[in-house]
Amino acid sequence: MHSWIDETSLIPKRETRARFRLKIFNAFEGKCAYCDDDAQSLDHVIPRHRGGQTVIENLVPACLRCNGSKGSTEWTLWYREQEFYTQQREIIIWEWVYQFRDELYIQQQLDHCCSDQLLRNF
Ligand SMILES: [Zn+2]
């Protein structure tokens, strides 16, 4: 007898989640952000236990291989060790992660963690 409540509360949530997922997949054309294979999952760029949030800018599509292999390793450390690594895709991921940030914030973050070469691209 309460089924209408469940439907109205669950369906919009499900739609939102699907749209959220689709937006991320579309931004990367359905490809793994790391290796460019077909993506089947979403990966937390900054792992949750390192303070990464489940927000659009911290999620990228990833194939199961990359998602499993990256695990909880800091993503740039992991990624730069991979044979499919390209700097171009690393920059695309940085731009995605910082898409809602202002330039000053980006500069500060990059000062901490990135090579001069990467900085020049911003
Ligand atoms: Zn991959």
Residues 30-52 have pLDDT tens digits of 999 999 999 999 999 998 888 88
Per-residue pLDDT, averaged over 1-13, amounts to: 54
The pLDDT, as a whole number, for residue 92 is 93
CA of 14 to the centre of ligand 1 (A): 26
User: What count of other Cβ atoms lies within 10 Å of the Cβ of residue 71?
Assistant: 8
How many helices and strands, by DSSP H and E, does the chain display?
Answer: 6, 2
Distance 40 CA to ligand 1 centre (A): 9
What's the helix, strand, coil split of the chain in %, to 5?
Answer: 55, 10, 35
Provide the mean pLDDT of the chain: 82
- In the chain, where the domains are located: 3-119
From ligand 1's centre to the CA of 99, what distance in Å? 21
From residue 24, how far is each of 11, 41, 43, 87, 109 by CA, in Å? 20, 10, 11, 20, 23
